[in-house]
Structure 1
Amino acid sequence: MNTLYRLGQFSIALTFPALAILLAVFGLPAVLLFLSSLNAPDFSLTNYEAFFSRGANVRVLLQTVEVSVIATLMCVIVGYPTAYIFAAASKGLRMALLVLVVIPYLTSFLVRTYAWIVILGDGGLINTLLLELGLISSPIPLIYNRMAVYIGMVHIMLPIMVLPLVSVMVGIDKSLSAAARSMGARPFAAFCRVFFPLSLPGVLSGSLLVFVLCLGFYITPAALGGLGDAMLSTFIAAQVESSFDLARIAASSFVLLGLAAVVLGIFGLDLSGAQDSRPHPAWKSPPDWLRSFGAPTRRVKELAARHRAKRWASTLYQAAGRGHLWKVVGTAFVALVMFYLLFPSVVVIIMSFSAGPSLHFPPRALSLQWYRSFFNNPSWTDAAWISIQIGLAVAVLSTIVGTLAAYGLSRTFPRLRSTLTMTILTPITIPSIVVGIAAYLGLLKVGLIGTKTGIILTHSIGATAYVVVIVSATLANFDRRLELAAKSMRASPLRAFTRVTLPLVRPGIIAGALFAFLHSFDEVVQTSLVSGFSVRTLPLKMWENIRHEIDPTIAAVASMLVLLPVAWLIVFYFTLWRSRPTVSGVPLETAS
């Protein structure tokens, strides 16, 4: 008890387990990897010079940047109006729409990639429909090209853009735009001068996250793109499979990592909650020499201002005639976005009930043969059982160390908290393949390649980051005076934590554990590197089938994985919304 009390006085010590795992699995191996890229102990830039001296490498690098930028812009173009409509909706409708966005976000990206293969393939849904309607005589090439890559990447990344945008937009005071309207500003001007500048932090955070994650894309471009659509992660994976030249792989990995680090360093992504939330002006005042050119137009603006004032006064108490039209347009737009996000999963579920030797949409006859094939095939069930075992172990480990770290971070100095939080979040803010290669090098040194323990440790560093984010968000709304009140009534630190703090943060802990399990259950890039081909998880089995089209059973597996996030949300609902936290048996309505 005294040990726990002394440990509680040094909150920073609670982050040590998470930092120790991160340092052992990723930190130190990343340093060794960087030294290998420099040919230590000779220290030269030969490997980097070799990388940039080859035109093919440079083209792949530029192509990676190009694809990532365009995919990010597409996410902004689609995500911003979607988030704006979400933020303007009522609270109940907004929550329902966010749930519909979260479901595909939590669905396995392998499932979503497979769904687009089913839809865009030569024998897929679109080509089959067009052939049956007689609009085409032969399948059109909808897959294995750049557009298919964009469709798949935007489908996966769009929720990551929408969620931070909605979070920022909901927090914007609507009275500011109303005040601008009351002073004669038109709706578009009020939006451009007031609302949009205040929403820029969400645009920046979402864009940076999407761009950095797109840099590390490997599965989707490899499955949906052609030979000319390879990205740098695909190039690195090919190096690993063909000839494991550690120095060259290290150089390629740090080129990709350096690109991500430069972008994050320039724009200053901060997921720790320490970002500057003060509103910034939309633009600075023009210099004096530029301002002098505006003198001839001032008289025209004054006349226009008088006209706008008269028009505003005459229409102040009139009903807005365009309101209904914009509602219809907004509803149609959101419906299209929801269709884009949800329809691929629906297609996979329906096709999984196809009878016969192949899959069809819609099925010509209904059958459970592919589900029976899954449960009667040991290669599928063994892979699923291994993934479940690893996922549960990752959930337990990451929840314990992540909760301790989040609790310790909530009680440290803001600047130190920001630094440590960003350190813990490193595995999910840099390309996944770089983390996998560093983890491979670290586990190779201790003989854990090809073991479940090695995979658990590799998955845990990313899962811990998610737990820290979720539990920290829960602790941000926790009133520490409740804990102090319990201690003032002679409750020990342990008793105050178990009777006061734990009941209030329990929903966040459970949500973090479930998210950690899903993260592990869906991981394929890092697993493929550290499994050593001796531990075959369900995602690895699925990826093999997607690449070689071996077994239609994957449709049944994919449909079951689509239902996994739905089950997660149901558990989260009963944990967070239906359970009333209590302190010593007294229900609390709020924790803030």
Structure 2
Amino acid sequence: MTRFKNLGRMPIWLTLPAFGVLLVLFGIPIVRLFLISLNAPAFSVANYLAFFGQSANVRVLFQTIEISVVVTAICVVIGYPTAFMIVAASKRLRMVLVVLVLIPYLTSLLARTYAWIVILGDNGLVNKLLLDIGLISTPIPLLYTRWSMYVGMVHVMLPLMILPLVSVMLGIDKSLTAAAPSMGARPFDAFWRVFFPLSLPGVRSGALLVFILCLGFYITPAALGGLGDAMLSTFIAAQVKSTFNIEQIASSAFVLLAIAGVLLSVLGLDLSSGHDRASETVRRSQENRLPSFGALARYLNELAAPYRAKRWTAELFRATSSRNSTQLMGAVIVVLVMFFLLFPGVVVIVMSFSAGAYLEFPPSGLSLQWYRSFFGNPSWTGAAWTSIQIATAVTVVSTILGTLAAYGLSRTSPRLRSALTLAILTPITIPLIVVGIAVFLGLVDLGLVGSKMGIVLAHSIGAIGYVVVIVSATLANFDRRLEQAANSMRAGPLTTFRRVTLPLIMPGIMGGAVFAFIHSFDEVVISSLVSGFSIRTLPLKMWENIRHEIDPTIAAVSSLLMLLPILWMIAIYFMWWRSRPKRGPNSI
């Protein structure tokens, strides 16, 4: 009996509600989808052979991989120096730059995509500028090309590359890089031999995250790319809306999922900032790579010792002009990246006040006509109200379940916590189109397709993951001795959690709630699969208008959505400010 009582007190049971929702809506349906792809119970690979037997499918698959690789490479090339300069900046400037990166990350995906449609269109900002300065006589086709698709996808994915890099770089011990110049290393050598190997976990995690999300990218490629730039996610979505051949859809989805699964299993997704683990990994990889040249390397190292000693004295008193030029170049890179991330939103906001019959930049006159068009049109306001209702319900459900799961995971062993966290984050770490199809099957079994409750549950499986990540990060810095002190004063577990733990982790809970709301309010892919034809959220309404007609009202809607992240960040900062320790009158 005592054993069962102790088992009932284990915090791991707090994760059951979150895992129950995940299992019913995603776990069981994804297994069913896999069995369907294998023609269970006959079990054959005929569907996969049929997929690879069609040259069009193979071409789309390789094109999807090619586009994902190119976008990932561009994000690494741009994101690494940007993250490096952000980390090298002063604390206050670093916070400002991180906020500037977060603003476009939290901005609606459709709003950012629409911004590039406005900028790159035939009557867009770029063509108008080139026409005004006389470089071209007729508009050049910038939109609906592979180039415009790359621009839009990099704009969306770049924050996802920068933020993991900043997180890992901040955890690198600065004394290691500071010690290298004192031993005669040039600045570039110190960076390449010391700092860069320690930052590789951030490069790996950011690149994996960007690549896997690009595999399932649907909205931006479909809106900005041409007919010959289709990705496999677009191909799967077209199958769902047209023939709905579940065997073909399942095999296509699992081909996409297999690529993501292989990369995740081989490389892993690690945001660890510990420099000891990174340096140990780099050292072992170098040893395994050159096992037979160890003696030769040590011999050459001894021969080079006198040269390094002379270079140390020369470098010690060398002028710092090259360092200043490097810092200037880094500052220019950061300014250009911030301009790239923020300028499209500024353009849309300014153009939304245009007084003309169509959008123009700069506006010939100022007017609120497009905002009146939005608030005066029941189809727009009704879609917005539906999105608010659904996002609010998703926020409540995912915040409660995610907080309980994060609290239970924080009290388990590290190995078990790692495995369970990976499972609960699966819906946000695999291609989104695969998640949407699996959730659709799960809601069909429950009879909730085309209902608000079905959309709430569908959005919640991803929102729970965001809440778990943010609340777990808050709990990692929580001093558990406070709970022990409360228990020593005869406070029960529930009282301790309500009076001690909950107030201290409330900023993390509110941050998770904000991310859950944004995730639901901006969701398009899953909503388009499970909403049926009866429910239209604001993102679905915007997507329909972007695909079929460019209504200038979308500019007003997009500008409103671009202001939301600023309000969210103000709310998060307010919660953090309210929860920080208060200094007493006698404190120093």
TM-score by length of 1: 0.94
* Correspondence list, 1:382-401, <5 A: 382-401=382-401
Q: Structure 1, residues 119-163: CA drift from partner, whole Å, max 9, x if none? A: 111111000111122110111121111111111111101101101
> Which residue pairs with 2:569 in the alignment?
569
Matching residue's letter, 2:531: S
* Correspondence list, 1:325-344, <5 A: 325-344=325-344
> Which residue pairs with 1:284 in the alignment?
286
- Aligned equivalents of 2:412, 2:273: Cα separation in 1: 13
Greater Cα offset, 545-554 or 14-23? 545-554
> Which residue pairs with 1:580 in the alignment?
580
Change (3 A) 1:289 1:36: closer
Change (3 A) 1:203 1:214: same
- Aligned equivalents of 1:586, 1:505: Cα separation in 2: 22
Change (3 A) 1:331 1:270: closer
Matching residue's letter, 1:137: S
Q: Tell me if structure 2 keeps the 8 A contact 1:403–1:467.
A: yes
Matching residue's letter, 1:204: R
SS in 1 for 2:185: coil
Structure 2, gaps ≥5 residues long:
none
> Which residue pairs with 1:518 in the alignment?
518
Matching residue's letter, 1:49: L
- Aligned equivalents of 2:21, 2:508: Cα separation in 1: 22
> Which residue pairs with 1:75 in the alignment?
75
TM superposition shift of 1:180: 1.5
TM superposition shift of 1:33: 1.2
- Aligned equivalents of 1:273, 1:316: Cα separation in 2: 30
Q: Structure 1, residues 82-132: CA drift from partner, whole Å, max 9, x if none? A: 011111111111111000000000001111111111111111100011112
Change (3 A) 1:317 1:16: same
> Which residue pairs with 2:245 in the alignment?
245
Q: Tell me if structure 2 keeps the 8 A contact 1:503–1:581.
A: no
* Correspondence list, 1:25-44, <5 A: 25-44=25-44
- Aligned equivalents of 2:455, 2:404: Cα separation in 1: 22
Matching residue's letter, 1:515: F
Matched, 1:135 2:144: no
- Aligned equivalents of 1:169, 1:272: Cα separation in 2: 10
> Which residue pairs with 1:170 in the alignment?
170
Structure 1, gaps ≥5 residues long:
none
Matching residue's letter, 2:425: L
TM superposition shift of 1:8: 7.0
SS in 2 for 1:479: coil
TM superposition shift of 1:31: 1.2
* Correspondence list, 1:355-504, <5 A: 355-504=355-504
> Which residue pairs with 2:254 in the alignment?
254
Q: Structure 1, residues 241-271: CA drift from partner, whole Å, max 9, x if none? A: 1101111111111111111111111112246
Matching residue's letter, 1:185: A
> Which residue pairs with 1:232 in the alignment?
232
SS in 1 for 2:277: coil
Q: Structure 1, residues 24-78: CA drift from partner, whole Å, max 9, x if none? A: 1111111111111112222221111110000000010011111111110110000
Greater Cα offset, 376-385 or 410-419? 410-419
Matched, 1:185 2:172: no
- Aligned equivalents of 2:261, 2:495: Cα separation in 1: 43
Change (3 A) 1:479 1:579: closer
Matching residue's letter, 1:36: I
Matching residue's letter, 1:391: A
Q: Tell me if structure 1 keeps the 8 A contact 2:200–2:278.
A: no
- Aligned equivalents of 1:486, 1:577: Cα separation in 2: 25
- Aligned equivalents of 2:139, 2:306: Cα separation in 1: 61
Q: Structure 1, residues 404-442: CA drift from partner, whole Å, max 9, x if none? A: 000000001111111111110000001111111111111
Q: Tell me if structure 1 keeps the 8 A contact 2:172–2:274.
A: no
Q: Tell me if structure 2 keeps the 8 A contact 1:399–1:467.
A: yes
Q: Tell me if structure 2 keeps the 8 A contact 1:272–1:418.
A: no
Matching residue's letter, 1:113: T
TM superposition shift of 1:322: 2.1
> Which residue pairs with 2:200 in the alignment?
200
Q: Structure 1, residues 183-210: CA drift from partner, whole Å, max 9, x if none? A: 1111111111111111001111111101
- Aligned equivalents of 2:315, 2:51: Cα separation in 1: 65
Matched, 1:63 2:66: no
* Correspondence list, 1:83-162, <5 A: 83-162=83-162
- Aligned equivalents of 2:316, 2:43: Cα separation in 1: 72
SS in 1 for 2:536: coil
Change (3 A) 1:30 1:294: closer
Matching residue's letter, 1:504: L
- Aligned equivalents of 2:275, 2:320: Cα separation in 1: 38
- Aligned equivalents of 2:94, 2:101: Cα separation in 1: 11
Matching residue's letter, 1:335: V
- Aligned equivalents of 2:564, 2:294: Cα separation in 1: 59
- Aligned equivalents of 2:510, 2:300: Cα separation in 1: 61
- Aligned equivalents of 1:421, 1:186: Cα separation in 2: 42
Q: Tell me if structure 2 keeps the 8 A contact 1:253–1:434.
A: yes
> Which residue pairs with 1:45 in the alignment?
45
> Which residue pairs with 2:346 in the alignment?
346
Q: Structure 1, residues 490-535: CA drift from partner, whole Å, max 9, x if none? A: 1111111111111110000001011100000000000000000211
SS in 1 for 2:579: coil
Q: Tell me if structure 2 keeps the 8 A contact 1:374–1:381.
A: yes
Matching residue's letter, 1:167: S
Matching residue's letter, 1:215: L
Q: Tell me if structure 1 keeps the 8 A contact 2:105–2:156.
A: yes
TM superposition shift of 1:548: 1.5
- Aligned equivalents of 1:426, 1:472: Cα separation in 2: 16
Q: Structure 1, residues 465-495: CA drift from partner, whole Å, max 9, x if none? A: 0000000000000011110011011111111
TM-score by length of 2: 0.94
Q: Structure 1, residues 382-414: CA drift from partner, whole Å, max 9, x if none? A: 000000000000000000000000000000111
- Aligned equivalents of 2:382, 2:193: Cα separation in 1: 58
Q: Tell me if structure 2 keeps the 8 A contact 1:274–1:418.
A: no
Change (3 A) 1:517 1:272: farther
- Aligned equivalents of 2:584, 2:530: Cα separation in 1: 49
- Aligned equivalents of 1:228, 1:253: Cα separation in 2: 20
Matching residue's letter, 1:332: V
- Aligned equivalents of 1:121, 1:8: Cα separation in 2: 61
> Which residue pairs with 1:222 in the alignment?
222
- Aligned equivalents of 2:568, 2:114: Cα separation in 1: 22
- Aligned equivalents of 1:473, 1:293: Cα separation in 2: 46
| Identical residues among aligned pairs (%) | 67
- Aligned equivalents of 1:429, 1:23: Cα separation in 2: 16
Matched, 1:23 2:23: yes
Q: CA RMSD in A?
A: 2.3
Change (3 A) 1:331 1:17: same
Q: Tell me if structure 1 keeps the 8 A contact 2:168–2:271.
A: no
Q: Tell me if structure 1 keeps the 8 A contact 2:184–2:315.
A: no
SS in 1 for 2:367: coil
SS in 2 for 1:139: coil
Q: Tell me if structure 1 keeps the 8 A contact 2:197–2:278.
A: no
